[in-house]
């Protein structure tokens, strides 16, 4: 019997656009997805532990060490109202919780294991908080783990001249390009590419930010591409609170005083695109604009002036981008994209 029964209440509107193509369990925050975190935590439970009834938790609960400690100590019988639950309810909370998640995932992954040797050409600070997986390639870069741990995934690459401050996570097969400047807390997902300057952001798998430009306090979905020179604003000129468009509220929601770009899967920006503070981009958009972009760009937008991306052209273009990483678009992806297209 499962020890947790997840309440999968509708979350897609609040977490728009990141649940358009995935479940909440497949959100990546820190090094791992929520699904991977729960799996690793729960597989460590004693086989002899007897649970009378599974405890009910919201599906968007972040599995923290603090929460798991309380659950285990109560034999999974605690009143959920008394538990220290952190819920990911809005996109900016993926950014908010990324620092904690990298630190806890790092311990979960590295405990009891030995890192690959750090190459002699790499300048490091606090080497005991750097973990390198098999097949990773690093040369003539700087890794500063004083502010937080640094995780380099299997077969990942950090090119020469890159500067990285923890906490930082680089997924399997991902690449940090030459001269890149990365500030924590930042995650670059599997097979993604990072270039330019990045701070406090999450790039999901297979996406590219391969050139100069600034990305801060942002979340980028899977299979996105930020054209050369693309940058986002993350602070308003008044230094006041930033409001972000959210369909659940049918308007804008205050998200704090720092908030960047939230881009859905399969979306792209042209060279030198300037994203406004707290901009939300839907799924499968081709973004190009004179000056700052609007703060909400609906799914399947072609440009930013209300023109719609033709569906078959969008599918063709997604297929072309996938071929560049030896992947192909699946029938289930096409079906889900058609649902999104029809309602956009």
Digit-coded pLDDT (tens) for 62-107: 999 999 999 988 888 889 899 999 999 999 999 999 999 999 999 9
Residue 116 has pLDDT above 50, yes or no: yes
Tell me which of 290 and 271 has the higher pLDDT.
271
- Please give the pLDDT value at position 1: 45
User: Residues 199, 183: contact at Cβ < 8 Å?
Assistant: yes
Confidence class of residue 321 from pLDDT cuts 50, 70 and 90? very high
CATH class of 121-343: mainly beta
Tell me which of 80 and 314 has the higher pLDDT.
314
CA distance 293 to 304: 7
CA distance 88 to 35: 14
- Please give the pLDDT value at position 49: 61
| Span(s) in the chain for CATH 2.160.10.10 | 121-343
DSSP state of 125: E
Least confident of 1-15, 96-110, 123-137: 1-15
- Please give the pLDDT value at position 260: 97
Mean pLDDT throughout 37-66?
A: 85
Counting every residue, how long is the chain?
344
Return the residue matching tokens 């959920």.
80
Strand partners, 87: 61
CA triple 49-55-58, angle to 5 deg: 135
Which residue, among 270, 278, 166, 263, has the nearest Cα to 207 in the 3D structure? Answer: 263
Residue 48 has pLDDT above 70, yes or no: no
Residue 231 has pLDDT above 80, yes or no: yes
Rg (alpha carbons) of the chain, rounded to whole number: 20
Least confident of 6-10, 47-51, 193-197, 242-246: 47-51
Which residue, among 222, 211, 221, 181, has the nearest Cα to 198 in the 3D structure? Answer: 181
153-202 pLDDT per residue, tens: 999 999 999 999 999 999 999 999 999 999 989 999 999 999 999 999 99
Mean pLDDT throughout 225-252?
A: 94
User: Residues 240, 229: contact at Cβ < 8 Å?
Assistant: no
DSSP state of 197: E
- Please give the pLDDT value at position 6: 85
Residue 44 has pLDDT above 50, yes or no: yes
Least confident of 66-75, 131-140, 305-314: 66-75
In the chain, the percentage of residues whose pLDDT exceeds 70 is 98
Cβ neighbours for 265, distance < 8 A, ≥ 6 positions apart: 17, 20, 21, 22, 204, 221, 222, 223, 224, 283, 284
Mean pLDDT of the chain: 95
């Amino acid at each position: 019997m499962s020890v947790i029964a997840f309440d999968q209440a509708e979350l897609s509107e609040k977490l728009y656009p990141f649940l358009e193509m995935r479940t909440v369990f497949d959100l990546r925050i820190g090094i791992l997805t929520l699904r991977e975190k729960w799996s690793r935590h729960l597989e460590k439970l004693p086989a002899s532990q007897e649970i009378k009834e599974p405890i009910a938790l919201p599906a968007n609960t972040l599995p923290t060490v603090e929460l798991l400690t309380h659950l285990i100590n109560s034999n999974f019988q605690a009143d959920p109202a008394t538990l220290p639950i952190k819920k990911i309810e809005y996109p900016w909370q993926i950014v908010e919780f990324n620092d904690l998640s990298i630190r806890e995932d790092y311990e979960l992954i590295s405990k009891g294991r030995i890192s690959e040797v750090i190459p002699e050409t790499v300048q490091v600070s606090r080497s005991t908080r750097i973990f390198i997986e098999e097949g990773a390639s690093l040369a003539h870069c700087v890794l500063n783990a004083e502010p937080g741990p640094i995780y380099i995934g299997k077969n990942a690459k950090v090119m020469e001249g890159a500067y990285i401050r923890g906490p930082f996570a680089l997924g399997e097969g991902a690449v940090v390009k030459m001269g890149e400047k990365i500030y924590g807390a930042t995650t670059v997902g599997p097979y993604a590419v990072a270039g330019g300057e990045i701070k406090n952001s999450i790039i999901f798998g297979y996406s590219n930010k391969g050139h100069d430009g600034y990305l801060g306090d942002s979340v980028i979905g899977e299979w996105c591409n930020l054209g050369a020179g693309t940058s986002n604003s993350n602070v308003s000129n008044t230094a006041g609170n930033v409001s972000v468009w959210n369909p659940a509220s049918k308007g804008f929601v205050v998200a704090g005083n720092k908030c960047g770009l939230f881009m859905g899967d399969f979306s792209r920006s042209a060279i030198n695109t300037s994203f406004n503070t707290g901009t939300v981009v839907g799924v499968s958009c081709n973004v190009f604009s004179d000056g700052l972009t609007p703060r909400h760009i609906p799914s399947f937008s072609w440009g930013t002036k209300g023109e719609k991306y033709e569906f078959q052209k969008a599918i063709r273009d997604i297929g072309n981008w996938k071929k560049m990483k030896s992947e192909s678009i699946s029938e289930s992806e096409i079906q889900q994209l058609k649902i999104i297209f029809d309602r956009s």
